Structure 1
Amino acid sequence: MGEVRPPETGAAPPPRFVTGSTFRHVVVMAATGSVGLMAIFLVDLLSLLYIARLGDPVLTAAVGFATIVQVFAVSINIGTMIAVGALVSRALGRGDVGEARRLAASALVLSVVASGLVVAVLLPLLAPFLRLIGATPETVPAARTFLWIALPSAVLMALGMGFSGVLRAVGDARRSMNVTLAGAAVTAVLDPVLIFGLSLGIEGAAITVVLARLAFAWVGFSGAVRVHRMVARPSLAAVLTDAGPILSVALPTVLTNLAPPVASAFLAHVMAGFGTATLAGNAVVDRLVPVAFGGLFALSGAVGPILGQNWGAGRFDRMRSALRDAALVTGLYVGAVWIALLLGRGPLTALFGLSGDAADLLAFFCLAGGAIWFFNGLLFLGNASFNNLGFPLAASALNWGRATLGTMPPALLGAHLAGPEGAMAGTGVGSALFGVVGLALAFRTVGVLERREAARLEADDGRPARLP
């Protein structure tokens, strides 16, 4: 017999995250999310390795700059993915599956439209934009070729990420993981075939990106629509009705997610002052970061639906517990990755064929990256809380604070005092400050919501209320 599907409308199954161990929910959701994300990041790293094996550092640097540009486009998709996860999980926490399905459909339509507009704006401006972030005259043509092929597929990525957000909102960690695993599998198989087998080089890598995102969207559609029936048939009236609530979460979240690529672009601009070799080393670090610390991205994505369902159910005690457990998992995860980087810095340098300044920069990242990314992880948890609990502007303020005050002055000062390694270390100082503040404010946000709910219940009942 086939899998039983929930009805088109009516009662939703019991919200998964409002009972049971919050630590277990955090670990399961983060672990399954990590598998899919890190698989994609790993094959992206392999793609860069294949390009590096072509023996031209200009191509390696070009792919690094192209990645920065693509992150700007993907940031739009992340904003709408977080919006659909927050609103759908909150509706499910209240038991309103019809509203959840309608919101999912409207958010997906808005995501595709927004992604298409971004692509249309970026494509004719690629050359000046690449020069602005530090690309040299030698790297601009190759990066531009890559992006003309790969960038339009950001629309497919918007669909895939939206479906993944729906699957996380309903607590289907396995199918959400399968969305990203599908893209990773396509990349792993096709990259060497197109880059080396068909001698397409950087164009082959870009074609693989398109095909991987097509698989990403199809598997997401299969899980969210065909299995769970959690996406209603979209309508213009529903999109216009839901645009306000969706954009109230998505726009600040997009603003939040544009901050990291701005910081990366600024750091790349600083690194460009030290030559092509340093740029190549920085490109490797940029691809290594998500592989090494992809679990932190998955962890922040896992916390959102858990907080959203428990907020809808009025379980503020469980919300605090989820934040504490997520911070503990962050520390344990980063500690393990840091040890692996310390032990693997030599083999990684040899694997990518780096030498001189490029090798020095990669080695320094392996030594210091753990400390920097522990605090980044705390900031991610804070941002996930704000985005899912109705305070997205707080996430924007913190992320932009880190991308500007926490990145630019310390990076410039560090570069002046200690070269490329000093620039990287400077960004770590800002991460520490904003990470601690972000997590502290997340706990404060839960307290604010709890007091608001107590006041509402007291006003409704005419007597003091006791929260669960």
Structure 2
Amino acid sequence: MAGTGTIGLMAVFLVDLLNFTYISWLHRPELTAAIGFAGALGYLQIAVSIGMTIGLGAAVGRQIGARQHDAVRLTASSFLIVMTLVSLALGCLTAVFSTPLLALIGARGETLRQAAGFLHVVSPALPLVALGMGFSALMRTSGDARRSMNVTLAGAMMSACLDPVMIFGLHLDLMGAAISTVISRALTMMLGYRGLRPHDMLRWPGWTDIPRHARPVGVVAGPAILTNLATPVAGAYVTNAMARFGTDAVAGQATVERIVPVMFAFVFALTGSVGPIMSQNLGAGLIGRTRQVLRVSLWMVAGCVGLAWIILALGQSAVIAVFAVHGVGIAIVRLFCNWTVASYLFVGMLFVANSAFNNLGHPLYSTWFNWGRATLGTIPFVALGLHYGPLGVMIGQAAGVSVFGLAAVAVAFRVVGQLGPGPHVSSVPIDVPARTPEGALMEMQEQDDD
């Protein structure tokens, strides 16, 4: 599950990185900084979409584990409608208020104008992202990891082909990148819907049924949205701190933020993959498997971070040359490649723990830990680092996350240790016969034999 997810995410992040590279080749620092500022608000939108997707996967995963297919169809269809309405409202509001929001986090002059123009095009199309994520999550929850990967790859390839045409061929610069982004997201959404159809997970619910069947998802999605908002809020605070040291500092930070998703795509894919596995085994009453997933995931995170550290330490000069980083931005990139990259071990710990909380019935725990990291783990540390320049800001951010990553993992093991035997299924309006853990295991073995 994590392997196919990594390939899909790697493609998306590589295209995003390539897009950022194209903009940097225009040798206009205000455009590079504009990407950073627009990304800070864009991450807020994506965080809401991810939160809704987490809730959808957790609720549907338990129902699949308990063989409640009718409930799966009603729950998935109802919440996809809710996702569409919520993301449409959020995207339009972001487009309308983009200029004051960007100014609030430090964008000025031409950088502000370019970033606002980018968001005016991309933000109203947020439902395309939300639905694409929802369809992909449902495919992965059904175990169809390969088809989910192919959908993501197709969207990434479309963007990779369109970016140079729009940016250089048509001379649209940042606006070309925005148009390419919308087209690729539309393709991903359409292919996602087509890929989900063979699983028979969708049906049109009655309008009065939508609130009732969407409620089990909302129980997890609400806290998950709050959880995911914490990261971009903390990122916006760090961007504001970096803006005090000029556009080169913001561009250096933006470079790091584009490198991170590529180097740690496996970590992000892993934390998205373990959720359905945990929730299905929880729904089937197989608690031992749930504990095993948590342990193995942490070892895999450690291995990924170690490998990324080696690659970045050896290739830092190439990174600086490719992205045309200047001034203090060079020092920021070198610090990340040599030292602060290690802090992503604790970021990975936090993500794995959050996935466990969201899928094991404790979504508020992930909210508390993520907002703790975004406030107590960011503001005082970064404020202290400000006295030592932009490098101090990065070091402060890295120090804060280590505390909360370790604490979250400790609590996650405690939560898993307290799980009792028997199936754990979210409340749904479909009656199904109760099953013992032994019965669930026998059914799984029979399927394997088939």
**What is the CA RMSD across the aligned residues, in angstroms?**
1.8
Aligned to 2:403: 433
Aligned to 1:3: none
- Output the CA distance in 2 between the equivalents of 1:179 and 1:434: 34
Aligned to 2:72: 100
Which structure 2 residues correspond to residues 167-206 of structure 1 after superposition, within 5 A? 167-206=139-178
Note the C-alpha offset of 1:448.
2.5
- Kept in 1: contact 2:22–2:167 (CA 8 A): yes
2:304 is the alignment partner of 1:304: no
Which stretch has the larger CA shift, 444-453 or 338-347? 444-453
Aligned to 1:44: 16
- Kept in 1: contact 2:373–2:400 (CA 8 A): yes
Note the C-alpha offset of 1:105.
0.6
- Aligned-partner residue type, residue 398 of structure 2: G
- Aligned-partner residue type, residue 218 of structure 1: M
- Kept in 2: contact 1:76–1:114 (CA 8 A): no
Aligned to 1:346: 317
Which stretch has the larger CA shift, 421-430 or 228-237? 228-237
- Output the CA distance in 1 between the equivalents of 2:405 and 2:137: 24
- Output the CA distance in 2 between the equivalents of 1:238 and 1:169: 23
- Kept in 2: contact 1:296–1:330 (CA 8 A): yes
Aligned to 1:139: 111
Aligned to 2:446: none
Aligned to 1:274: 245
> Alignment partner for residue 296 of structure 2, among 325, 345, 353?
325
Relative to structure 1, the CA distance from residue 39 to residue 369 in structure 2 (aligned partners, 3 Å threshold; closer, same or farther) is farther
- Aligned-partner residue type, residue 180 of structure 2: T
- Output the CA distance in 2 between the equivalents of 1:56 and 1:401: 37
Note the C-alpha offset of 1:452.
8.7
2:153 is the alignment partner of 1:153: no
Q: Which runs of 4+ in 1 moved over 3 A?
A: 451-454
Which structure 2 residues correspond to residues 66-465 of structure 1 after superposition, within 5 A? 66-225=38-197, 227-416=198-387, 418-450=388-420
CA offsets per residue over residues 239-288 of structure 1, 9 Å max, x none?
A: 12123212111111000000000010000000011111111111111111
Aligned to 2:445: none
Query: What secondary structure, in the 3-state scheme, does the structure 2 residue paired with 1:138 have?
Result: helix
- Output the CA distance in 1 between the equivalents of 2:152 and 2:205: 24
Could you list the runs of 5+ residues in structure 1 that have no partner in the other structure? Answer: 1-28, 455-460
Note the C-alpha offset of 1:369.
3.5
- Kept in 2: contact 1:335–1:370 (CA 8 A): no
Which stretch has the larger CA shift, 134-143 or 345-354? 134-143
- Output the CA distance in 1 between the equivalents of 2:207 and 2:77: 10
CA offsets per residue over residues 152-174 of structure 1, 9 Å max, x none?
A: 11110111000011011111111
What is the TM-score of this pair, normalised by structure 1?
0.89
- Output the CA distance in 2 between the equivalents of 1:382 and 1:333: 17
What is the TM-score of this pair, normalised by structure 2?
0.92
Query: What secondary structure, in the 3-state scheme, does the structure 2 residue paired with 1:155 have?
Result: helix
- Output the CA distance in 2 between the equivalents of 1:79 and 1:38: 20
Could you list the runs of 5+ residues in structure 2 that have no partner in the other structure? Answer: 425-433, 442-450
- Kept in 2: contact 1:83–1:107 (CA 8 A): no
- Output the CA distance in 1 between the equivalents of 2:178 and 2:374: 28
- Kept in 2: contact 1:77–1:161 (CA 8 A): yes
- Aligned-partner residue type, residue 392 of structure 2: G
Note the C-alpha offset of 1:451.
6.7
Query: What secondary structure, in the 3-state scheme, does the structure 2 residue paired with 1:450 have?
Result: coil
Note the C-alpha offset of 1:430.
1.5
- Kept in 2: contact 1:412–1:423 (CA 8 A): yes
Query: What secondary structure, in the 3-state scheme, does the structure 2 residue paired with 1:139 have?
Result: helix
- Output the CA distance in 1 between the equivalents of 2:89 and 2:241: 30
- Aligned-partner residue type, residue 34 of structure 1: T
CA offsets per residue over residues 418-458 of structure 1, 9 Å max, x none?
A: 3111111111112111111111211211223327979xxxx
- Kept in 2: contact 1:109–1:234 (CA 8 A): no
- Output the CA distance in 2 between the equivalents of 1:235 and 1:311: 30
Query: What secondary structure, in the 3-state scheme, does the structure 2 residue paired with 1:259 have?
Result: helix
- Output the CA distance in 1 between the equivalents of 2:367 and 2:61: 22
- Output the CA distance in 2 between the equivalents of 1:202 and 1:412: 32
- Output the CA distance in 1 between the equivalents of 2:422 and 2:144: 31
Query: What secondary structure, in the 3-state scheme, does the structure 1 residue paired with 2:97 have?
Result: helix
- Aligned-partner residue type, residue 223 of structure 2: P
CA offsets per residue over residues 109-138 of structure 1, 9 Å max, x none?
A: 111111011112222211110011111223
- Kept in 2: contact 1:338–1:369 (CA 8 A): no
Note the C-alpha offset of 1:70.
1.0
Relative to structure 1, the CA distance from residue 91 to residue 451 in structure 2 (aligned partners, 3 Å threshold; closer, same or farther) is closer
- Output the CA distance in 2 between the equivalents of 1:192 and 1:253: 36
Which stretch has the larger CA shift, 138-147 or 118-127? 118-127
Which stretch has the larger CA shift, 200-209 or 113-122? 113-122
Query: What secondary structure, in the 3-state scheme, does the structure 2 residue paired with 1:435 have?
Result: helix
- Output the CA distance in 2 between the equivalents of 1:339 and 1:274: 29
- Output the CA distance in 2 between the equivalents of 1:47 and 1:236: 41
- Output the CA distance in 1 between the equivalents of 2:368 and 2:404: 10
- Output the CA distance in 1 between the equivalents of 2:269 and 2:331: 29
- Kept in 1: contact 2:287–2:421 (CA 8 A): no
Which stretch has the larger CA shift, 179-188 or 237-246? 237-246
